Amino acid sequence: MSTTVAERRIAVAAQRKHSLHRSRMWALWGSYIALSVFVVMFLVPPFYTLMTSLKSSAEISAQTGSPWLVRHPTLENFWYLITYPNFQRYYLNSIIVTILTVAVSMVISVLAAFSLSRMGFWGSQTLSTGVFLTYLVPPSLLFIPLFQIIGQLGLINNFWCLVLLYPTLAVPFCTWIMIGYFSSIPKELDEAALIDGAGYLQMLWKIFIPVAMPGIIAATIFAFTVSWGAFLYPLAYLYTSNQMVLTVGIISDLIRGDVFQWGKIMAACLLASLPPIVIYAFLMDYYVAGLTAGATKG
Please, which of residues 110-169 interact with other proteins by CB under 8 A? 111-112, 114-116, 118-122, 124, 127, 129, 131-142, 144-152, 154, 156-157, 164-165, 167-168
Which bin fits 112, alpha (ψ -120 to 50), beta or left (φ > 0)?
A: alpha
Q: Does 32 bind other proteins (CB under 8 A)?
A: yes
Stretch that binds other proteins, among 75-83, 95-103, 173-181 (CB under 8 A): 173-181
Phi, psi of 109, rounded to the nearest 5 degrees: -80, -30
Cβ neighbours of residue 81 under 8 Å, at least 6 residues apart? 87, 264, 267, 268, 271
Q: Which among 223, 219, 271 has a CA at the least distance from the CA of 75?
A: 271
201: Cα within 13 Å, side-chain hemisphere: 1
Residue 13 in contact with other proteins, rule: CB under 8 A: no
Taking CB under 8 A as the criterion, the residue among 21, 22, 43, 75 binding other proteins is 43
Answer for the pair 114, 208: CB distance below 8 angstroms, yes or no.
yes
277 binds other proteins (CB under 8 A): yes
Query: Site residues for other proteins, window 212-271 (CB under 8 A)?
Result: 225, 228-229, 231-232, 235-237, 239-241, 246-248, 250-253, 255-260, 262, 265-266, 268-269
From first CA to last CA, the distance across the chain in angstroms is 21
Q: Does 78 bind other proteins (CB under 8 A)?
A: no
- Residue 285 CB partners (closer than 8 Å, separation 6+): 2
Q: Does 11 help bind other proteins (rule: CB under 8 A)?
A: no
CB atoms within 10 A of CB 164: 17
Please report whether residue 178 would count as binding other proteins according to CB under 8 A. Answer: no
Binding other proteins by CB under 8 A: which of 38, 72, 85, 187? Answer: 38
194 is an interface residue for other proteins by CB under 8 A: yes
* CB 188, min distance to other proteins, A: 16
- The correct pick among 22, 25, 34, 189 for binding other proteins (CB under 8 A) is 34
